Amino acid sequence: MAAMKALAIGSLGVLLGFAAADALGQHVSGAGEAGLPAFQRTKTTSDTGVILNRPRPLSQAATGAVVPAMFSEPAAPIFRAKVTDPDEIHRLMPLGPTAPVVVQPGTAKPLQPPEPLPVPRPVEPHLGPVPHGQPLPTILNDCGSCPGPAPSVAGCVVLGDCGLCEASCSAHRCGVRHGWLRECAGCCDDDCCLPRPGKFWLRGEYLLWQLNRQSAPPLVSSDPTGLGEASGRALPGTQVIYGDEQLQDDNGIRSGARFAFGFWFPHCCDWGLDASFFFLANRGSQFTAGSPGVISRLFYDDTNQQEAYQVVSGPYTDPFGQDFVANGTTTIQNKTRLWGFDVNFRKKLCCGPRYWLDGQIGYRYLQLADTLDIYESIYPDELGRPFQQTLVYDGFRTRNQFNGFQLGLEGELRIIGRWYLAGSVKVAFGVVRQVVDIQGSTTFLNVDDGTGQNIPRIDGVGGLYALVTNIGRYERDDFAFLPEFGIKLGFDITDHLRIYAGYNALYLSSVVRAADQIDRRVNIDYIPDVLNPRPVRGPQPMTPAVLLRRADFWAQGAQFGLEYHW
Query: 128 and 259 in one domain?
Result: no
pLDDT tens track for 2-60: 556 666 666 666 555 555 555 444 444 444 444 444 444 444 444 444 444 444 554 44
CA distance 513 to 521: 18
547 belongs to a structural domain: yes
**Greater confidence, 445 or 126?**
445
Residue 251, SS3 per DSSP: helix
Residue that is last in its domain, among 139, 158, 192: 192
Is the peptide bond preceding residue 129 cis, with omega within 30 degrees of 0?
no
391 belongs to a structural domain: yes
As a whole number, the mean pLDDT across the chain is: 74
Residue that is last in its domain, among 159, 192, 225: 192
Is the peptide bond preceding residue 37 cis, with omega within 30 degrees of 0?
no
CB atoms within 10 A of CB 211: 21
pLDDT tens track for 162-212: 333 333 443 333 433 333 344 443 444 555 777 776 789 999 999 999 998
525 belongs to a structural domain: yes
List the alpha helices (DSSP H) in 92-246. Answer: 227-231
pLDDT score for 269: 75
Q: How many domains does the chain contain in total?
A: 2
Query: 394 and 297 in one domain?
Result: yes
Cβ contact 308:283 at 8 Å: no
Nearest to 199 by CA among 127, 274, 131: 274
The structure's pTM equals 0.65
Range 317-344 burial, b when 16+ CB lie within 10 A, else e: ebeeeeebebbbbbebbbbbbbbbbbeb
CA distance 132 to 186: 5
Please report, as a single letter, which amino acid is at residue 201: W
Q: CA end-to-end span of the chain, whole Å?
A: 116
Interior angle at CA 352, CA 349 and CA 354, nearest 5: 125
The CATH number covering residue 286 comes to 2.40.128.100
The answer to which of 5-19, 171-185, 251-265, 532-546 has the lowest mean pLDDT is 171-185
Query: 443 and 302 in one domain?
Result: yes
Which domain range does residue 143 map to? 121-192
Given a cut of 50, is residue 549 above it in pLDDT? yes
Query: 174 and 210 in one domain?
Result: no
Average pLDDT over residues 274-279: 96
Average pLDDT over residues 205-234: 74
Average pLDDT over residues 88-103: 50
Query: 147 and 239 in one domain?
Result: no
Query: 276 and 145 in one domain?
Result: no
Residue 12, sorted as left (phi over 0), alpha (psi -120 to 50) or beta, turns out to be alpha
Residue that is last in its domain, among 150, 175, 192: 192
Query: 386 and 291 in one domain?
Result: yes
CB atoms within 10 A of CB 274: 20
Rounded to the nearest 10°, the torsion over CA 7, 11, 17, 20 is -140
CA distance 517 to 548: 6
Given a cut of 90, is residue 476 above it in pLDDT? yes
**Greater confidence, 522 or 142?**
522
